[in-house]
Amino acid sequence: MQKSAQAFRTISEVADELDVPAHVLRFWESRFTQISPLKRGGGRRYYRPSDIDLLRGIQHLLYEDGLTIKGAQKILKDRGIKHVSAIVSTAAVVIPEPVDLGAIVARLKQMRASIEASL
């Protein structure tokens, strides 16, 4: 069963979702004071959807834009959490339409027959 989009996530769930190790998330938390997951008994972290959006934005700044930690910190300081959180919006994720492989194969066979006929 899949969690609601508004549900809190554990560090392992967020690490899987962002495809980074959990220790990277803990490191980012130590470098970016804006990352503040809820902590429960034993220090277990629970990330809100807004925390995950911020982490996605930081990940984009570091991995896609090639900024250093200091560079990403400066962007956060100058432009704010909302700007960084909006860099990679989950609403911008596009799910591709299903592909009709049968139609593609039929079209390729037609093309092949046409090519062979012209030879």
What is the total count of domains within the chain?
1
- In this predicted model, what pLDDT tens digit does every residue of 65-109 receive, in sequence order? 999 999 999 999 999 999 999 887 644 555 567 778 888 889 999
Q: Using one digit for the tens of pLDDT, what is the confidence trace for 40-60?
A: 888 899 999 999 999 999 999
Look up the domain containing 20 and give its range.
9-93
- What string of H, E and C letters represents the secondary structure of the chain? CCCCCCCCEEHHHHHHHHCCCHHHHHHHHHHCCCCCCEECHHHCEEECHHHHHHHHHHHHHHHHCCCCHHHHHHHHHHHCHHHHHHHCCHHHCCCCCCCCHHHHHHHHHHHHHHHHHHC
| Within-domain flag for 106 | no
Q: Is residue 29 part of a domain?
A: yes
Entry pTM: 0.70
Q: Would residue 101 count as lying in a domain?
A: no
Residue 39 inside a domain? The answer is yes
Return the CATH number at 81: 1.10.1660.10
Residue 100 lies in a domain: no
